[in-house]
Amino acid sequence: MYLVTIGLEVHCQVNTRTKMFCACATSFGDEPNVNICPTCLGLPGALPVLNQVAIEKTILSGMMLDCTTPPISKWDRKNYFYPDMPKNYQTTQMELPLCIGGNVPLYDHCYPADAQKSIQRPNQIIRLNRIHLEEDVAKSTHLGNASLIDFNRAGTPLMEIVTEPDLESAEEAFAYLRSLQMILVQGGVSDADMEKGQMRCDVNISLRRNASDPLGAKVELKNLNSTSAVRRAIHFEIERQTEELNAGIAQIQSTRRWDDDRGETQMMRTKEDAHDYRYFPCPDLLPLTTTEIVDRMKKVVPELPHARAARYQQDFSLTLYDANVLSSDIHLARYFEETLAPAIPAKKTANFLINNLLGTINERNIPIQECAVTPTRMRGLLALVENGTLAANQAREVLIVMLETPDKSAAEIADELGYKPTDTGALQELCDQIIAQFPDKVAEIQAGNDRLLNFLTGQLMKASTSKPNPKMVTDVLREKILPSA
């Protein structure tokens, strides 16, 4: 057995309208090479100008993740040649990044579904080393005998979020990425969509026999673009290194790529350290004084998912599961809070949103922020459930129609479907008729077979010209047949 040590370097595009060092638009899906200028292309004489919003959002990210920001931050050049970086260097930060230290909590509900019942280190917090800001490179598309370069992405503001070597499994790495993604999205810092290349991950992984041993040789897995790929790649790499170490093959510091189609890592290059990039201060950009920006961004730090979940549990008596579901999506959290009404228990509101609304809109690929059933209309629907007009399954039927007819209220739709407020006297009379019609069933119920109440409820629903609330029907039948229950 070997101890696994993992560190992650996450590259995340900052959500800005323009690029890091020029006024070209940031974009996804535009025609290739339309959002470019001399600065993007690294042409001689082109000079960079800092993007203020990118700096503000990076510092805000640091605040959400408990980082500190030094009073002075500066820019450096990382020198290397690659076709997607025509300047032959990347403007980045080495010695004085915008954010130092910090941490990311691993939310239990962010682990893979098949691992949530066997979390080895619950409530784990992963330390950060730093967050620095740099420019993204162009996008390369490799063909059989040629490569295409799209510079639309070149120069997009890019945060690099670097952990300490605190992770110990592929499942923890998966949870880290999901937790980090959730925090950054809810802070409005980034869309962090890995499918669009807005968030990518490098994995550093090493194995050793004992905790007292020095860390093993670091193997870096480059440019993984999904949480599931990260999990698969780490599992493969642990197995590969274990087999080689058991065979007496020492590991060397190296960089490997993940081939998702083949399900294996492949060697790219050996030993690579910071000095190989010949970092030196960028002569085109002055050091940045951060004090005023820090003071300004302190005022806009949002409520984080775990803080919101704790508040929901305390203020609304929600279960941990329900609080986590609602707090995981900022749009869903806002919808929930705007739907709350004094006359409707918060727990009932949460249950209906989670168990009925989410499933219904997910089937139709409708984001919650585009749902035609506004919080105001939802309150009207829940009021009908609360006053007994609708049962939960009937409310779901009304909800489906509400999605298709945004100009009608829940009450109007319920009326059209025949779900009307039940006349208490009429319901009592119907129950008496059903009890008289099935004396044998009544006797069995009184003998202990409560499940036959459902049979009688069904018979009454068939006999009724309206559509009373089945739960209300069952309750009345129970009261009449088992008055002492």
Q: Are 169 and 222 found together in one domain?
A: yes
Based on the fold, state whether residues 433 and 475 are members of the same structural domain: yes
Give the pLDDT score at 484. Answer: 64
How far apart, in whole angstroms, are the C-alpha atoms of residue 136 and residue 91? 9
The per-residue pLDDT for 183 is 97
For residues 51 and 144, state if they share a domain.
yes
The burial class, CB within 10 Å (0-12 / 13-18 / 19+), for 123 is exposed
- Residues 309 and 108: their CA atoms lie apart, in Å, by 12
- Identify whether residues 211 and 349 lie together within a single domain: no
> Domain of 451: which CATH number?
1.10.10
Last-in-domain residue among 264, 298, 332: 298
- State whether residue 239 is helix, strand or coil: helix
From CA 151, how far away is CA 40, in angstroms rounded? 7
Domain span at 433: 424-481
Q: What is the pLDDT of residue 2?
A: 94
225 with 334, same domain: the answer is no
**Exposed e or buried b for every residue in 278-306, given b needs 16+ CB within 10 A?**
ebeebeebeebebeebbeebeeeebbbbb
Provide, for the chain, the percentages of residues in helix, strand and coil under a 3-state DSSP scheme, each rounded to the nearest 5: 40, 20, 40
Nearest to 290 by CA among 40, 99, 35: 99
Under 8 Å between Cβ of 224 and 203:
yes
Residues 127 and 259 in one domain: yes
Residues 261 and 308 reside in one and the same domain: no
Together in a domain, 146 and 237: yes
What SS3 state is found at 204? strand
User: Are residues 95 and 73 part of one domain?
Assistant: yes
Whether 429 and 337 share a structural domain: no
Grouping H, G, I as helix, E, B as strand and the rest as coil, residue 98 is coil
Q: Are residues 139 and 197 in the same domain?
A: yes
Instruction: Please count the structural domains in the chain.
Output: 3
DSSP 212: T
Regarding whether 334 and 205 lie in a shared domain, the answer is no
Domain end marker among 238, 270, 298: 298
* Residues across the chain: 485
Residues near 127 by Cβ (< 8 Å), separated by ≥ 6? 101, 102, 103, 163, 164, 166
Q: Which amino acid is at 97?
A: P
Flag residues of the chain having pLDDT under 50: none
Neighbours of 103 (CB within 10 A): 14
pLDDT confidence of residue 424: 63
Final residue before a domain boundary, out of 416, 439, 462: 416
